């Protein structure tokens, strides 16, 4: 039995398409790579929290990104526990010091080693639903399947996000076996990015992509919070295969 569905939040304005083009098509790229010093670079992290029906997007706010929770337990089909796992962009030193704010991000997603059908197979981590908290998103058709990706933007004219934290959305999940949810580069261009409200784009290195680990009761091994330590660089997942063709039609007797 699946857990109750989480609430859907917000609508996306059409003009956000123009915002996305301005940010990612015409934005200038920062030349310095965060790999030179992981503690200075922009980060994308995951934060594991209990579900809530009120102000779910705001509930993911962190006073300090170092407080993000990266560990969760295993679920039973009847009783859970279920979680909201927040996807959060954190500006690097240059973004914070210049008060540019955050207006966009892109990344990929992996779990169950990019297994086909992993999103709802009751093996390892299952993602029941994704809820966006930004102005618009341009996601792969299979999002949030393993190996998929998303490009997420805020309307920087009215919704420029704080440089220290931008909540892109949250996954509603349950783990039926030990598994790792990890952020990756977007497979299409092999890049993870954060864009500012001044249309400056910063790369996010693999060591600054967060991970959340789910394990049995008593497990104390967390995932990885890039605000605390460099994370093991993930590989770029192979996009999920297309669905198989329909079976041939059985000819009828004449």
Percentage of the chain exceeding pLDDT 70? 75
Of 234 and 172, the one with more pLDDT = 172
| Statement: residue 67 has pLDDT above 90 | yes
Q: For residues 168 and 99, which has the higher predicted lDDT (pLDDT)? A: 168
The predicted-structure confidence for 133-157, as pLDDT tens digits, reads as follows: 999 999 999 999 999 999 999 998 9
The pTM of the full predicted model, rounded to 2 decimals, is 0.82
Q: Residue 168: is its pLDDT beyond 80?
A: yes
Average pLDDT on 125-134 reads 96
Give the pLDDT score at 123: 83
Q: Is the peptide bond before 144 cis (omega within 30 degrees of 0)?
A: yes
**Tokens, residue 137:** 């998103």
Lowest-confidence segment of 6-10, 119-123, 152-156, 186-190 by average pLDDT: 6-10
Residue 125 has pLDDT above 60, yes or no: yes
52 exposed, middle or buried (CB, 10 Å; 0-12, 13-18, 19+)?
middle
Lowest mean pLDDT among 28-37, 89-98, 123-132: 28-37
User: Would you state the pLDDT for residue 97?
Assistant: 87
Please tell me which residue, 35 or 193, carries the higher pLDDT value: 193
pLDDT (mean) for 206-216: 96
Lowest mean pLDDT among 34-38, 103-107, 148-152, 244-248: 34-38
pLDDT digits (tens, 9 = 90+) for 31-56: 444 444 556 799 999 999 999 999 99
**How do the domains of the chain map onto residue ranges?**
16-215
The answer regarding whether domain 16-215 maps to CATH 2.40.50.180 reads: no
Mean pLDDT over 216-245 rounds to 76
Two tokens at 228?
């605390």
- Rounded Cα–Cα distance for residues 58 and 35 (Å): 30
At residue 9, the pLDDT reads: 35
């Amino acid at each position: 039995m699946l857990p109750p569905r989480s609430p859907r939040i917000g609508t996306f304005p059409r003009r956000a398409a123009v915002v996305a083009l301005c940010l990612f098509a015409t934005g200038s790229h920062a030349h310095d790579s965060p790999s030179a010093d992981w503690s200075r670079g922009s980060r994308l992290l995951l934060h594991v929290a209990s579900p809530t029906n009120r102000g779910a997007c705001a509930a993911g706010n962190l006073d300090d990104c170092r407080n993000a929770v990266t560990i969760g337990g295993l679920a039973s089909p009847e009783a859970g526990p279920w979680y909201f796992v927040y996807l959060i962009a954190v500006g690097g030193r240059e973004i914070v010091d210049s008060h540019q704010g955050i207006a966009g991000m892109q990344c990929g997603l992996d779990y169950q080693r990019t297994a086909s059908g992993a999103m709802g197979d009751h093996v390892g981590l299952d993602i029941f639903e994704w809820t966006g908290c930004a102005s618009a998103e341009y996601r792969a058709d299979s999002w949030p399947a393993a190996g998929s990706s998303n490009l997420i933007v805020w309307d920087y004219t009215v919704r420029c996000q704080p440089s220290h934290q931008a909540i892109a959305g949250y996954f509603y999940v349950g783990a039926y076996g030990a598994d790792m949810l990890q952020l990756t580069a977007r497979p299409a261009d092999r890049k993870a990015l954060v864009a500012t409200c001044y249309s400056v784009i910063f790369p996010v290195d693999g060591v600054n992509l967060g991970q959340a680990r789910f394990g049995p009761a008593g497990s104390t091994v967390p995932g990885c919070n890039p605000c605390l330590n460099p994370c093991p660089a993930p590989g770029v997942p192979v996009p999920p295969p297309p669905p198989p063709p329909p079976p041939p039609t059985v000819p009828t007797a004449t």
